Amino acid sequence: MTLPWLQEAKQSLCAARLADRVPHALLLHEDPGAGGLQLASWIAQLLLCRESARAPCGACPDCQWVRVRQHPDCQHIQPEGKSRQIVVDQVRDAVTELRLTGHSGRAKIAILAPAEALNANAANALLKTLEEPTPTTLLILVTTQPSRLLPTIRSRCLKLRVAAPARSDAVQWLTDARGAGPWDAALAALDTGPLALLEIDPAEIASTRREVLVHLCALHDQTLQPPAIAERWAKDELDLRLACTESWITDQIMIAASAIDDLPEMRREPQLSTGPRGLNIGLLLEFHDAVRELRSLMHTSINKSLAVESLLWRWAQVRTR
Ligand SMILES: [Zn+2]
């Protein structure tokens, strides 16, 4: 799987390797769906490949073991089981392993993803390792939210930005990889890069998004009331519906704030009767925050029906307040 938008980052890493300037800790700041984990795996292959002159060859046993996460010198640390956190014991085990002599003799690598899942104790344990790096070790932290890492961790890592490709390039890439589909609508719905859509049916997302937009417009026009819609949302694909809501509100804020009369792709979508320009941008921003907050609570035991109903009442009032 070729990810052309990572090419520049790969070239700079190859140059760093040739100059023997690979750092001991890398922080990959990725856009969602941009391929941070894929780049981390490529870096591990670069350092562990046995075909040194053309590393990473992608074909030698070391490259293949890295790719299938079976290389003894490349650990993957992520939240385990139902936990949403990387805990201190995982970091301690990884650090112990990093100190052992490598199987390949080339490098010892640990990939932590998503790095923002490190809890406080785990982050502190990691910090000690970052302060006393050993010559052949490399820690790769992958995160979409570097601001959630300790500043002392961030400052000890070399930062590399992993940006998602432009929307049109992402559509093209997905079409090549998976065939035709409503990729533009699916990418817009989830506001993400292409890799997040590798195993998802884009038609289903596009159709859910359209239904969400119809509901939001109907609430805005008071032709539907929040309780009926809240019940439907809470029963089915609530996470996706909230993601669609957030990305669409972001678009409305952009329209309300920009000098452009209308973004071309918006014309095919359900429209607010008053138009975003008739809405108070402050209220849109407040509503946007409320959607984000509810999304962050989706894994907790809150009463989802009630929470989403209250959110939709709030949206209905954005018009009249
Ligand atoms: Zn290789």
Q: Determine contact, residues 301/281, Cβ cutoff 8 Å.
A: no
pLDDT tens column, 172-223: 999 999 999 999 999 989 989 999 999 999 999 999 999 999 999 999 888 9
C-alpha–C-alpha distance, residues 300 and 232, integer Å: 20
DSSP state of 152: H
For 150, the 3-state DSSP assignment is coil
Whether the pLDDT of residue 34 is over 80: the answer is yes
Whether the pLDDT of residue 15 is over 70: the answer is yes
- How does residue 321 score in pLDDT terms, banded at 50, 70 and 90? very low
Distance 193 CA to ligand 1 centre (A): 28
pLDDT of residue 312: 96
Distance 244 CA to ligand 1 centre (A): 41
- Least Cα distance to 97 among 136, 43, 52, 45 occurs for 136
Task: Please tell me whether the peptide bond between 56 and the residue prior to it is cis, using omega within 30 degrees of 0.
Answer: yes
Distance 131 CA to ligand 1 centre (A): 30
Of the listed ranges 64-73, 88-97, 99-108, 274-283, the least confidently predicted one is 274-283
- Least Cα distance to 220 among 262, 278, 290 occurs for 278
The CATH number of the structural domain formed by 4-162 is 3.40.50.300
Distance 62 CA to ligand 1 centre (A): 6
Distance 28 CA to ligand 1 centre (A): 22
* Domain ranges (residues) in the chain: 4-162, 167-320
| DSSP labels, 230-265 | HHHHHHS-HHHHHHHHHHHHHHHHHHHHSS-S--GG
Distance 192 CA to ligand 1 centre (A): 31
- How does residue 280 score in pLDDT terms, banded at 50, 70 and 90? confident
Query: CA angle, 9 as apex, 6 and 189 as ends, to 5°?
Result: 40
Whether the pLDDT of residue 257 is over 50: the answer is yes
To the nearest whole number, what is the mean pLDDT of the chain?
A: 91
Share of the chain above pLDDT 90, in %: 76
Distance 104 CA to ligand 1 centre (A): 12
Average pLDDT over residues 47-61: 95
Average pLDDT over residues 43-65: 96
110, two tokens: 């640990």
Distance 102 CA to ligand 1 centre (A): 16
**All residues at 6 or more sequence positions from 164 whose CB lies less than 8 Å from its CB, including other chains:** 5, 31, 32, 33, 34, 170, 192, 193, 194
